[in-house]
Structure 1
Amino acid sequence: MQVVITAVGPDNRGLADPIVHSVTALGANISEIQMFDHDQESVFSMLTRVEIDPGQRTKVEEAMAGVAESTGLSVRTWSPDICGRKPRVAICVTFRPETPRAILEAIQDGAIKATPSVMIGNREKCHSLADEFGVPWENIADEDGIPDDERLIDICDEHQVDYIVLARYMRVLPAASCWKYAGGRIINLHHGLLPSFPGIRPYHEAYASRMLTFGATCHFIVPELDAGNQIIYQSTFTVPPGQTVDEVVRQGQERNEPHCLVEGVRRVVDGEVKLHFNRVVATHR
């Protein structure tokens, strides 16, 4: 089976060695290693993807707990090879209800085979939506909507979340959060076509460029904002010449964005795609 190990913490010497030595001593085959030092913040981040005998998983987890204790790193072990249950998802939201509603309805209808474990918001706008579907609600922000990023990760840990779905969550996750759930575990909806329109107003930017076709992008999150190689799914719609930008935005938000995110999440949950060395690859089952 495959196991993804992430480690984040204060930068120091010799942090990678105990992780590598521990898994290889258990007979694991290392298929991917990524490391990054945030020099200005003095933060060390590492992702290790290994293949192990399923019977060794508990020993790997115990070994990583030991590494965390001895190094002070925040270490997580996770496997995409989920058996005996549905994947657990956290749905992160801000204002717009269309995309989280579409995810919850797709789960309810069986189109997405997952369990909505928690809904996390930095505003109260979607609280009633969580109540409607019987999903636990957590507001992690202050009165200005500024989120507690560490609390977001803590909540996902508490609910043993497999995938974090950013359903028009209008805050940028810090690099440390991205590394803690790295390896294809954070799925984002960008309301524009990447890589052409990566900004915060992609509809307006495309409209200003006299585009008649608009779209949305579902992609895996890596520490670089809206990077272009992690695209899971894109969907588009075309408008006639002279269409107003307000109507373009309405069509995108109400119809195209929900469809795009649902299909992207379905592909990930069903194991059709995965992230490997920050590139989306098709799985062969």
Structure 2
Amino acid sequence: MTATPYVMLVKCPDTLGVVAAVSGFLAQNRCSIEESHQFLDQETGRFFMRTTFAPESESAFDLARLGEAFLAVADRFQIEWKLFDMRQRPKVLIAVSKFGHCLFDLLHRWRAGLLPVDIVGVVSNHDDMRSFVEWSGLPYHHLPVEKGNKRPQEQQFLQLVEDLQVDLVVLARYMQILSEEMCAALAGRCINIHHSFLPSFKGAKPYHQAHARGVKIIGATAHYVTTDLDEGPIIEQGVERVSHAKSAANLVTIGQDIECAVLARAVTWHVEHRVSINGQRTVVFS
């Protein structure tokens, strides 16, 4: 039995027999379930399932053929589904502006073997991070934004995504608002870290906004990018208590540590295929 599992993600209307049908299908195709998690959203009547499995014989196994065979089950239960081979490391493109802490953290985790991805490059609208990125052995794509006309830059960005066959774009404090066209092109495969515990304190300088309001908890939010600014489905959040004695600068320092941890968890869960989008929310099998 192989130690490398495959993953099946399922979401569908709640119907009696879905778990039995999926489990039975895998058994019929000589696959052993290693782990399975399910969730029923009572509000929407949607059912979600993540199953890891391994074939009895790796040499005789074909993931594409398994997918074709699953179509009959999917049609019966109106299942939206995806199959993944965990040996295939997703290709990730990171975007950054002038704040490097999230970039530094992601690259450290990647170089240490803690992040199961292939980082194929870094995009920036500034040149500040070039030396560190190139020292890390990665290509640096400086794509400056023309004031009042960001369309050419976004076209270059999307061309990079296509040319490099990118699976996930990570906005690691990339301080640009993406156009509706770009959001649509990257739907479900673009994660942003927002330096605030959303939905409060959106927009610029959220830590300064929070300080002005005398908050006692600060945090950060990782979410999928949509056309609704800072309102995409939330993947992960983190918080830390603060007191009146903390300055705005103190909050920035504390907040940056939270951002790094939250973004790393969100990226890891996404590439491990633990996240299913559920309308404006997510189901995370962490």
Note whether the superposition's TM-score is higher than 0.5.
Answer: yes
Whole-Å Cα distance in 2 between the matches of residues 145 and 167 of structure 1? 23
Alignment of 1:1-285 (within 5 A): 54-55=64-65, 81-82=84-85, 84-142=87-145, 147=150, 148-182=153-187, 184-227=188-231, 230-253=233-256, 255-283=257-285
TM-score, normalising length: structure 2? 0.68
Residue 93 (structure 1) shift: 0.4
SS at the partner of 2:268? Answer: helix
Does the CA contact (< 8 Å) of 1:122 and 1:146 recur in 2?
A: no
- For structure 2, the 5+ residue unaligned runs are 1-7, 10-62, 69-81
AA in 1 matched with 2:99 = R
Stretch of structure 1 that moved more, 142-151 or 161-170: 142-151
User: Percent identity over the alignment?
Assistant: 29
Whole-Å Cα distance in 2 between the matches of residues 178 and 80 of structure 1? 24
Residue 197 (structure 1) shift: 1.8
Does the CA contact (< 8 Å) of 1:102 and 1:258 recur in 2?
A: yes
Task: Provide closer, same or farther for how the CA distance between residues 121 and 132 of structure 1 changes in structure 2, counting only shifts above 3 A.
Answer: same
AA in 2 matched with 1:169 = Y
AA in 1 matched with 2:205 = R
- For structure 1, the 5+ residue unaligned runs are 3-52, 59-78
Residue 278 (structure 1) shift: 4.0
Does the CA contact (< 8 Å) of 2:191 and 2:224 recur in 1?
A: yes
SS at the partner of 1:81? Answer: strand
Does the CA contact (< 8 Å) of 2:67 and 2:83 recur in 1?
A: no
Aligned Cα root-mean-square deviation (Å) = 2.6
Does the CA contact (< 8 Å) of 1:215 and 1:256 recur in 2?
A: yes
Task: Provide closer, same or farther for how the CA distance between residues 156 and 56 of structure 1 changes in structure 2, counting only shifts above 3 A.
Answer: farther
AA in 2 matched with 1:261 = L
Does the CA contact (< 8 Å) of 2:216 and 2:241 recur in 1?
A: yes
SS at the partner of 1:91? Answer: strand
Whole-Å Cα distance in 1 between the matches of residues 229 and 83 of structure 2? 24
Residue-by-residue CA offset, 1:231-275 (whole Å, 9 max, x unaligned): 11111122232211111112222x221111111111111112122
**Whose Rg is larger?**
2
AA in 2 matched with 1:179 = A
Does the CA contact (< 8 Å) of 2:86 and 2:272 recur in 1?
A: no
Q: Which runs of 4+ in 1 moved over 6 A?
A: 143-146
